[in-house]
Amino acid sequence: MNREEISSNTPSTISQTKKTINFNELMIKGDNSKYPLLALLNILSVLLIDGLEKFLYSFLIIPINDYFNFKEFETECCSAIFFLGLALGSMSGGYLTKNFKRETVLKSCSFSFVLLHLIFSIFYYRAIFFICRFFIGFGLGIYTPICLNLYCEYLPSENRGFRLQVVWVSFSVANLFLIYIVMILMPNFQSFQLKKVLLISEIIPVISFIINIFTLYDSPRHLIINNEYDKAFEILENMNNNEKFTEDEKISIINDIKCSQIQISEGNIKDMFNSYYRTTTLIIMLLFFITACGCFGIPVVTTFTSRQLNINQGKEDNHSIIITQLIIALIGLISNIFAGFLINLKFLGRKGCLIISLIFEIVLCIFSINFPKFFAFLIGFSQFFANIFANVLIAYNVEVYLTKIRDIASGFNLMIYRMFCMFSQFIFLQMNSFDYRVPYYSLACFSFIGIFFVYLLPYETTGKEIDSDFNFKENLLDLNKSDEGKSLLNDEDIKYYS
């Protein structure tokens, strides 16, 4: 069967195929092959550089400010411009992968990180620092969501939640690597050593790029949707012990994938707000605001809070601030592993994990500011649950959308998230200038509101295959009754899925 014949098959012809093969069963059988392992290595390398670049400025804010002699407004802008780049990159990624191959887009981004990080480490000027930080953010906005999508598309439902959580250990490892360098080279935040720290941290972009070159393969699911059948079936056959598929089996697999996308009409942002996804999309956006406050608003003020608490207790040394950040980073590392076990509890599901995380985040955040002697541990464990909330929400954001719009939808929501990150850092710095306790009480209020919106999420992805039942069959009748649904379904589709 040639490419033209395969392309001509529509969901309505599936009932005529003699032999059917379930695509998800093929992915389960191939889970022990090299491709899921390569996708794992790829996402680990991605999150290494993601962790380094996101943590770099918030952790080194004092020596960077001292070196460049930033004013308060410039301090806020330097943080904001990175997240502006992240937001624009997240928005662009889905459209780039619609017009170019995923591998081309991702390898280009990976190389750009090596170059840009090296430039702002060597050429030490304000303008270059700002420009490079913007474009690194832009590249990460493209890079990280697409790599998460790719990894998710290789995973069967069993233990998918655990595997999507544990990879974030790599993010925390990058944080610890930077802290270790700082403890060795600038234990009291001496700004004259900053250049050495930045140059040594170039190791991570280089390692990430090398791994990316050798481990990057697009998922068969995404390749089929984009009509790259030859490459898709080459990977599928290698995943299944080089078992060759007949032409009828290939048609069955293609229709199995394409039928699952039937309620997506154009494959763009408009589909995120159809009758099926509208509520989910809006709630995810709101929850990403809370995530931004917990994961980026609070961390940007913890350094200043630590300094203020030290002054209140008659101490004023930057080394204790570094130790505080080390404790927080170690607790964050543990949170990624703990989240993997928590998310796999079926009686909780993704929604239950999100609610529990918010409850503990509220309690610990309030305690941290009221018990200054234990601030590092309490805010560290508050970040523990903030990290769990963020990682589970990102996993849900990847799982809930169909493959046809996954890059665009997850990227769009992450664009909103990055914009919130940018504004949250600005807002929390302003709150901190008013009173160092205000940011912590504000986060507790936001998180309390978030609990109710998590409860309102309409879909649960735990135990469901990607593009599977929760996306279509359970809502077929509702879709069929709506005008929008009638335009996407026909009698053969309804007959087949019923």
Q: Are residues 169 and 237 in the same domain?
A: no
Q: In this predicted structure, what is the pLDDT of residue 226?
A: 81
Q: Does 2 have pLDDT greater than 70? A: no
pLDDT average, residue stretch 81-101: 84
In-domain check, residue 320: yes
pTM of the model: 0.75
Q: Does 314 have pLDDT greater than 50? A: no
**Is residue 360 very low, low, confident or very high in pLDDT (cuts 50, 70, 90)?**
very high
Tally of structural domains, the chain: 2
Q: Are residues 248 and 379 in the same domain?
A: no
Q: Are residues 226 and 212 in the same domain?
A: no
In-domain check, residue 1: no
**Is residue 320 very low, low, confident or very high in pLDDT (cuts 50, 70, 90)?**
low
pLDDT in tens, 439-488: 899 899 999 999 999 999 988 888 777 776 444 444 433 444 444 434 44
Q: In this predicted structure, what is the pLDDT of residue 311?
A: 46
Instruction: List for the chain the helix, strand, coil content (%; round to 5).
Output: 80, 0, 20
Contacts of 180 (CB under 8 A, 6+ apart): none
Q: Are residues 204 and 173 in the same domain?
A: yes
**Buried/exposed code over 70-87 (b: 16+ C-beta within 10 A; e: otherwise):** beeeebbebbbbbbbbbb
**Is residue 260 very low, low, confident or very high in pLDDT (cuts 50, 70, 90)?**
low
pLDDT average, residue stretch 350-361: 92
Q: In this predicted structure, what is the pLDDT of residue 80?
A: 77
Q: Are residues 105 and 234 in the same domain?
A: no
Give the torsion through C-alpha atoms of 243, 247, 248, 254, to 10 deg. Answer: 90
In-domain check, residue 472: no
Q: Are residues 279 and 226 in the same domain?
A: no
Q: Are residues 238 and 293 in the same domain?
A: no
Q: Does 19 have pLDDT greater than 70? A: no
**Is residue 281 very low, low, confident or very high in pLDDT (cuts 50, 70, 90)?**
very high
Instruction: State the chain's mean pLDDT as an integer.
Output: 79
CA distance 155 to 159: 8
pLDDT in tens, 192-241: 777 888 888 889 999 989 988 888 888 888 888 888 888 888 888 888 87
Q: Are residues 369 and 235 in the same domain?
A: no
Contacts of 414 (CB under 8 A, 6+ apart): 86, 90, 141, 144, 145, 288, 394, 397
Q: In this predicted structure, what is the pLDDT of residue 471?
A: 43
pLDDT average, residue stretch 343-362: 88
Of the CA atoms within 13 Å of residue 93, those in its CB half-sphere come to: 37
**Is residue 262 very low, low, confident or very high in pLDDT (cuts 50, 70, 90)?**
low
Q: Are residues 368 and 239 in the same domain?
A: no
Q: In this predicted structure, what is the pLDDT of residue 349?
A: 85
Give residue 239's domain range.
222-259
pLDDT average, residue stretch 320-337: 74
pLDDT in tens, 128-176: 888 888 999 899 989 888 888 888 888 887 778 888 888 888 888 888 8
Q: Which has the higher per-residue pLDDT, 219 or 187? A: 219
Q: Are residues 381 and 441 in the same domain?
A: yes
Q: Does 321 have pLDDT greater than 70? A: no
Q: Does 3 have pLDDT greater than 60? A: no
Q: Which has the higher per-residue pLDDT, 66 or 8? A: 66
Q: In this predicted structure, what is the pLDDT of residue 310?
A: 60
What Å distances lie between residue 84 and 133, 134, 136, CA to CA?
10, 7, 11
Q: Decide: 146 and 97 in contact? Cβ < 8 Å.
A: yes
CATH of the domain at 47: 1.20.1250.20
**Is residue 14 very low, low, confident or very high in pLDDT (cuts 50, 70, 90)?**
very low
In-domain check, residue 488: no
In-domain check, residue 479: no
In-domain check, residue 324: yes
CA distance 140 to 57: 15
Q: What is the DSSP letter of 459?
A: -
Q: Does 1 have pLDDT greater than 90? A: no
Angle, alpha carbons 231-398-281 (nearest 5°)? 130
Q: Are residues 339 and 446 in the same domain?
A: yes
Helix axes 169-185, 34-59, angle to 10 degrees: 40
In-domain check, residue 279: yes
Q: In this predicted structure, what is the pLDDT of residue 411?
A: 84
Q: Does 359 have pLDDT greater than 90? A: yes
**Is residue 285 very low, low, confident or very high in pLDDT (cuts 50, 70, 90)?**
very high
**Is residue 13 very low, low, confident or very high in pLDDT (cuts 50, 70, 90)?**
very low
Q: Are residues 310 and 368 in the same domain?
A: yes
Helix axes 102-122, 126-154, angle to 10 degrees: 150
In-domain check, residue 22: no
- H helix intervals, 30-101: 34-59, 61-68, 72-99
* Amino acid, res. 117: H
Helix axes 318-343, 298-312, angle to 10 degrees: 140
Q: Decide: 79 and 58 in contact? Cβ < 8 Å.
A: yes
DSSP states of 274-314 as a string? STTTHHHHHHHHHHHHHHHIIIIIHHHHHHHHHHHHHHHTT
Among 259, 280, 312, residue at a domain's last position = 259
Q: Determine how many CB atoms are found less than 10 A away from the CB of residue 455.
A: 12
Q: In this predicted structure, what is the pLDDT of residue 135?
A: 92
pLDDT average, residue stretch 80-94: 84
CA distance 60 to 52: 11
What Å distances lie between residue 220 and 92, 122, 451, CA to CA?
22, 41, 37
Q: Decide: 437 and 308 in contact? Cβ < 8 Å.
A: no
